[in-house]
Structure 1
Amino acid sequence: MSKLVIGSFREFEQYIGKDLGYSDYLKITQEQINKFAEATLDHQWIHTDPVRAAEGPFKKPIAHGYLALSIIPYLWDQVAEINNVKMLVNYGIEKLKFNQPVLVDNEVRLKVTLESLADLRGITKAQLLATLEIKDNPKPAFTASIIFLYHFK
């Protein structure tokens, strides 16, 4: 699927209520999980100790929920190219629900739907329904409404 290209509020507006597309799949590795643990000081064994995790409920280490959430901007950039932007602000997350753990070596991709769009005195507020799908798993890792503020030129 080709990347969606948007260059203004008016171009964005035509996609309200529509699916915008999918990112490529991204494999979540133990190295990523360990680096995230270092960055966040969250070294819980379920994430960082493969030997102990093998005896746990998932039989493998799982990615931190916030690691899965933190890859949204990277995956969103694969879905859409937003041009003519002076600045982008991560404004908020609403209705976040973690549904399924992401196991080490799972592949995930982002599905995005444009829920709403508002013009706030020249700043575009885009609310996106983000679903992180896990390859070969019917349940998504999470669903959330992600809110970005785009300052178009």
Structure 2
Amino acid sequence: MRVFVDVGELVAAQGQHLGRSPWCEVSQQTITSFAEATGDRQWIHVDPERAVTGPFGRTVAHGYYLLAVLPALLGDIFEVERAGSVVNTGVDTLRFHRPVPVASRIRAAARLASVRVSRRGVAELAVEVEVEVEGVDAPACTAVVHSMIRPVRTRPGSAGGGERSAATLV
């Protein structure tokens, strides 16, 4: 994991590849749980017997599952130690390029495309992300993820400058 002390270090890292998350398996239980949580119970996701005769030969993860796990995957790639709140502000150019079959292992690769810091010290990040499938040459999903990092606030009456904690950019 790449650790940045503060937003200033992020600014210096603009344009850099931030790394890759560890591999994580996409199990049928995970796919089924996502289907139940979202109400998207299409058979290509939740019916292994029927999926054998379908277009992918087995069940596949939902495209929106890949979007939903991006915060966790990015949290395994980098964090900022001196950050207040971190807020997801949007996703641009989200594309699902190929299916992710059940029992596949996925990971994210991230590049810090841009960082803009306001006079108040709020940083707006754009992170280019590719979701990779183990053994597949091209990404399953690509997106530009936007986040906002607010500075650490000092609590009234605190001598030490307020609380400090590491914040993952998710």
Q: What is the TM-score with the length of structure 1 in the denominator?
A: 0.96
Q: Match of 2:46?
A: 48
Alignment of 1:58-77 (within 5 A): 58-77=56-75
**Structure with bigger gyration radius:** 2
1:106-145 residue CA offsets vs partner (Å, 9 max, x unmatched): 1001000000000133211010000000000012111110
Distance in 2 (alpha carbons) for counterparts of 1:42 and 1:96: 19
Give the RMSD, CA atoms, in angstroms. 0.9
Identify the match of residue 28 of structure 2 among 27, 30, 38: 30
Q: What is the TM-score with the length of structure 2 in the denominator?
A: 0.86
Structure 2, unmatched stretches of 5+, are 153-170
Identify the match of residue 15 of structure 2 among 14, 17, 20: 17
After TM superposition, give the deviation of residue 7 of structure 1 in Å. 2.4
1:44-70 residue CA offsets vs partner (Å, 9 max, x unmatched): 000000000010011010100010111
Contact 2:7–2:80 (Cα < 8 Å) also in 1: no
Over 6 Å off, 4+ runs: none
Distance in 2 (alpha carbons) for counterparts of 1:9 and 1:84: 8
Q: Match of 2:141?
A: 142
Q: Is 1:104–2:107 an aligned residue pair? A: no
After TM superposition, give the deviation of residue 77 of structure 1 in Å. 1.1
Instruction: Tell me the secondary structure at the aligned position of residue 36 of structure 2.
Output: helix
Q: Match of 1:85?
A: 83
Distance in 2 (alpha carbons) for counterparts of 1:42 and 1:72: 19
Q: Match of 1:152?
A: 151
Q: How many residues end up aligned between the 2 structures? A: 151
After TM superposition, give the deviation of residue 81 of structure 1 in Å. 2.1
Distance in 2 (alpha carbons) for counterparts of 1:47 and 1:127: 31
Identical positions, percent: 34
Instruction: Tell me the secondary structure at the aligned position of residue 131 of structure 1.
Output: strand
Instruction: Tell me the secondary structure at the aligned position of residue 76 of structure 2.
Output: helix
